[in-house]
Amino acid sequence: MVKVDLDRDGYAWKADIENSMGATSVSLRTSAWYDAGKSIKQEVIKVFGLK
């Protein structure tokens, strides 16, 4: 697993991802929370393939 920094772009967030040598796909895991104690976690396996 590689952690990346996020950059805010208006209402969206952006991240630059460098692919590992020999990788065939990219999966993403994210989490968010706010002061009231609510949170969400999401994981998407094989978001897209690599050539």
pLDDT of residue 1: 75
Q: Can you spell out the DSSP letters for the chain?
A: ------EEETTEEE---PPPTT--EEEEEEEEE-TTS-EEEEEEEEEEE--
Higher pLDDT, 3 or 43: 43
pLDDT of residue 44: 94
pLDDT in tens, 5-23: 889 999 998 988 888 888 8
- Going from N- to C-terminal start, the domains of the chain cover 24-51
